Amino acid sequence: MKILVLPGDGIGPEITRATLEVLGALPVDLEFETRDIGLASLKTQGTTLPSEVLDRIPEVDGVILGPVSHYEYPAREKGGINPSAQLRVQFELYANIRPCRSRPAFSILRKPMDLVIVRENTEGFYSDRNMFAGSGEFMPDPDLALSVRKISARGASRIARAAFRLARQRRRKVTAVHKANVLKLSDGLFLREVRKVAQEFPDIELEELIVDATAALLIRNPDRFDVIVTTNMFGDILSDEASELAGSLGLGASINASDERCVAQAQHGSAPDIAGQNLANPTSLILSAAMLLDWYGQRTENSKLIAAAGRVERAVDVVLESPQTRTRDVGGSLNTDTFTAAVVDAVKKV
C-alpha cells in the first residue's frame, strides 16, 4: 500500500512521525512518501499546497494529512490554500467518518458510547468549499454579511448511502440529524434524500432527530445511537462533542473518503502553542491512519491490512488503559516519543 504523507503545521510533523513509527511496526507492506505542505511549502514554493502534491494523490493508495494552521495562511491569491478543504473538494471526499467509542477511564458519561458520525463534507454552510466559483459568504456592504447554505440532492443521497452501508456492518440503525423545523427547504431536501436511500436498506432502522435534541441525547443516552448521518456543520459540532464526551478530542479517529480515495486526518488542530516541545498526543492521527488501512483493506479485500488496522486499535487501547502510559493531556506523564514507543511495543505484542 502506497501512502502519501503530508505532515502539515504546528504539531503535525511530530504526530505524523509518531504515526509512521507505529505503522512501521506492522507486519504489512507499506510504502511512505512524504511531501511538504502548509507553512513549510509556503516558505519554499510560495504555496501551502503545491500542484505536484495534488497531482500525486490519485497515484497513491491513501493519504495521511497532519493538522494545518490555515488561520495563519495568507490570502488564497498569495498562496494560502487550506489543504484540508481543497482535498475534500477537489477529490470529492464527501464523507467525514468519525467513530466515537467511550473508554471507562476517560469518559464522563453514565452510559457507554459506541457510535459513528457520518458527516457530509463538501456542502452546508462551509463557504470556502460549497461553491464552484467564488465563496458562499459575502458582504454587500460593510455592515451586512450573508452566508449561503448549500444542500444538494446528490450530496445528501451519497452521504446517506455511506451511512446505511456502514450501519449494515454495525447495529443496523441510522439516525438522520437535521433542523427541518426551521430550515424547511434545505434540511427538508436532506431528509427527502435520506428517506429515499432508506428504502434501499429495509433491514436498517431509520430515526430522525432535531440537532439540538441530538446534542442533549449524546450526553443523556449515548447508547441509543449507532450511526448518525448529518450535514456538514451539524456533523462537525456533534462529532467534537461526542469525542470529548467519549474521552478527548485527542483520542478520536477520522477519515475523509470518497468511493475511490481516502485521507486520514486527526480530529484536532495544529496546536502551535506546544509545537516542537515533544508534548503532543499522537493518538488521533495514529487511529485515523488505522482507519485508512481498514478502508483500503475493505476496498481491496486485503485481510492483512484489515487485521493490521485492528492491531493498531488494540495496541492503543492497551497503552491508554494505564495512567503510567498516557500523555499529559489525558492525565499521564509521557511525552510524544515515549508514548509512541509504548504503542509500538504494544503493536508487536497484541
Q: What is the pLDDT of residue 309?
A: 98
- One domain, residues 120 and 239: yes
Please enumerate in sequence order all residues whose Cβ is within 8 A of that of 26, keeping only pairs 6 or more positions apart, or say none: 308, 311, 312, 347
Residues 238 and 275 in one domain: no
- Of the residues 246, 273, 290, which one is the last residue of a structural domain? 246
100 lies in some domain: no
Task: Burial-class residue 5 by CB neighbours within 10 Å (0-12, 13-18, 19+).
Answer: buried
Per-residue model confidence (pLDDT) at position 104: 82
Q: Evaluate whether residue 261 is within a structural domain.
A: yes
Domain co-membership, 135 together with 222: yes
Averaged pLDDT, groups of 10, the chain, 350 residues long:
98 98 97 98 97 97 96 94 94 96 88 96 85 86 94 97 97 98 96 98 98 97 97 96 92 95 95 96 98 97 97 97 93 96 96
Task: Spell out where 135-211 has E strands.
Answer: 137-141, 144-147, 173-178, 205-210
Residue-by-residue DSSP string for 60-72: SSEEEE----GGG
Give a yes or no: residue 296 inside a domain.
yes
Are residue 257 and residue 336 in the same domain, yes or no? yes
**Do 121 and 237 have their domain in common?**
yes
The answer to whether residue 42 sits within a structural domain is: yes
Q: Is residue 293 part of a domain?
A: yes
Please tell me whether residues 242 and 262 are part of one structural domain: no
We report the CATH number of the domain holding residue 178 as 3.40.718.10
In a domain, 101, yes or no: no
Strands (DSSP E) along 161-300, which ranges? 173-178, 205-210, 227-230, 255-257, 262-265
- Residue range of the domain that includes 297: 1-94+251-350
Are 49 and 86 in a shared domain?
A: yes
Residue 336 burial (CB count, 10 A): 20
Does residue 282 share a domain with residue 152? no
Do 15 and 266 meet the contact criterion of CB atoms below 8 Å apart?
yes
Q: What is the amino acid identity at position 267?
A: Q
Show which of 246, 266, 283 is a domain's final residue: 246
pLDDT, residue 86, reads: 93
Number of domains in the chain: 2
Do 179 and 239 reside in the same domain of the chain?
Answer: yes
Query: What is the torsion angle, in degrees rounded to the nearest 10, for the CA atoms of residue 333, residue 289, residue 115 and residue 182?
Result: 110
Q: Is residue 189 assigned to a domain?
A: yes
Catalytic residues: 126, 179, 212, 236, 240
In a domain, 273, yes or no: yes
DSSP state of 275: T
Say yes or no: 145 and 221 in one domain: yes
Give the model's pLDDT for residue 130: 81
pLDDT score at 129: 78
- Residue that terminates a domain, selected from 246, 274, 290: 246
pTM listed for this prediction: 0.93
Claim to verify: residue 256 and residue 242 sit in the same structural domain: no
- CA 175 to CA 218: how far, in whole Å? 12
Residues 348 and 274 in one domain: yes
